[in-house]
Homo-oligomer: A and B are copies of this chain.
Amino acid sequence: MTAERRRPLTLKDVSEASGVSEMTVSRVLRNRGDVSEKTRVRVLDAARALGYVPNKIAGALASQRVNLVAVIIPSMSNLVFPEVMMGISEVLDDTPLQPVVGLSHYRPEREEAVLYEMLSWRPSGVILAGLEHTDAARAMLSNAGIPVVEIMDTDGEPVDAMVGISHRRAGRAMGEEIVKSGYRRVAFLGTKMPLDHRARKRFEGFTQALAKAGIEIADQEFYAGGSALLKGREMTETVLTRTPDIDFLYYSNDMIGAGGLLYCLEKGYDIPAQLGLAGFNGVNMLKGLPRVLATMDACRFEIGHKAAEIIAARALGIGEVGEQRITLSPEISRGDTLRPPVA
């Protein structure tokens, strides 16, 4: 259509093409200030005809405003985080703010580097997963002068705002429920991730609840990498072979739990009477398995939603600036793999 062009178009080009000053062109393009309908149309036509795309870099520098929200999460393949993102997007879609995602891959130094990178674009706010960061990262966050929301976990002190659940309490709740349901030989199966603090806290709360009932973890198994479904299957086989009298399997996520469930069904275990299972997250992708795995919702969508609301309220000065430290309460769903409490 248009001939080959190297230099991107500037306001000046539109100004010349429309015979209107750069300033007025700028006003039209941003819908700011009074502009007569006639010039408005003229400018818009010129801009469209040229194929002008505004330069936000220059705009941001001049206005000292960047409508970007930095979101730093550990990974995208965890299923958990895409849902958090949806919650965030749903809120930001009604504002001029835009999320920009960075990944830490569960590594603090990587998180620090990504944060540094993102802050150098001067975003209007930051949302990041977890409360554990490097000292440098924490310093950057408190010095940035923008709203910061730490999400997912609330077992600790946030730099600024936080929205999440208590993973320690979540682990404890599941532990208590298992005890109440009469299971006694309990195994834990999870990821080998020293840096997944949320999984660690759940594990701690879990063992604590069992301890209170005089029960110790009967066996445990950890994995790293690979297909979660398959790993769940393999770990379950390992545990059940090594400790045949196990009567409950607690998985650190639903995906490995699903693999374990498929394995147990094939082996003909009587579930949940003889053997109970539970995961964590409430991944609805797993609806459709032969049985519904007991689990606990991590409130992912709501967490994203509330975090974005806090950012929007403070960055834009719109909406209520409500409570800044929100702990949501996840609920256990028993599914078909956790028998009812015994009287």
Name A residues whose Cβ lies closer than 8 Å to a Cβ of B: 1-2, 5-8, 51, 53-58, 60-61, 66, 76-77, 82, 85, 89, 98, 100-101, 103, 116-117, 119-122, 139-140, 142-145, 227-233, 255, 259, 262, 266, 284-290
A121, B58: Cα distance in complex, Å? 9
* Choice from B98, B119, B285, B288 contacting A262 with Cβ under 8 Å: B288
A1, B138: Cα distance in complex, Å? 10
Contact across chains for A57 and B55 when beta carbons are under 8 A apart: no
* Choice from B56, B142, B262 contacting A121 with Cβ under 8 Å: B56
Contact across chains for B120 and A56 when beta carbons are under 8 A apart: yes
Question: Can you pick out 12 interface pairs between chain A and chain B where the beta carbons lie within 8 Å of each other?
Answer: A1-B139, A1-B142, A2-B142, A53-B119, A53-B140, A56-B122, A76-B85, A89-B103, A229-B287, A229-B288, A232-B288, A262-B289
Ranked nearest first, the 6 interchain pairs of A and B with the lowest CB-CB distance are: A229-B288, A230-B288, A227-B287, A56-B120, A230-B287, A259-B288
Contact across chains for B139 and A51 when beta carbons are under 8 A apart: yes
Q: Which residues of B contact A117 (CB under 8 A)?
A: 98
A264, B103: Cα distance in complex, Å? 39
A189, B7: Cα distance in complex, Å? 49
A233, B1: Cα distance in complex, Å? 49
> Chain copies in the assembly?
2
Q: Which residues of B contact A66 (CB under 8 A)?
A: 57
Contact across chains for A5 and B286 when beta carbons are under 8 A apart: no
Q: Which residues of B contact A61 (CB under 8 A)?
A: 57-58, 61
Q: Which residues of B contact A284 (CB under 8 A)?
A: 227
Contact across chains for B289 and A139 when beta carbons are under 8 A apart: no
A172 to chain B, nearest CB (A): 29
With A53-B120, A85-B76: A233-B139 Cβ-Cβ less than 8 Å: no
A60 to chain B, nearest CB (A): 5
A261 to chain B, nearest CB (A): 11
Contact across chains for B288 and A266 when beta carbons are under 8 A apart: no
Q: Which residues of B contact A121 (CB under 8 A)?
A: 56-57
Contact across chains for A143 and B2 when beta carbons are under 8 A apart: yes
Q: Which residues of B contact A76 (CB under 8 A)?
A: 76, 82, 85
Q: Which residues of B contact A122 (CB under 8 A)?
A: 8, 55-57
Q: Which residues of B contact A6 (CB under 8 A)?
A: 145
A148, B184: Cα distance in complex, Å? 60
Q: Which residues of B contact A142 (CB under 8 A)?
A: 1-2
Contact across chains for A120 and B8 when beta carbons are under 8 A apart: no
Nearest residue, chain B, Cβ from A258: B288
Q: Which residues of B contact A101 (CB under 8 A)?
A: 101
A143, B5: Cα distance in complex, Å? 7
A294 to chain B, nearest CB (A): 17
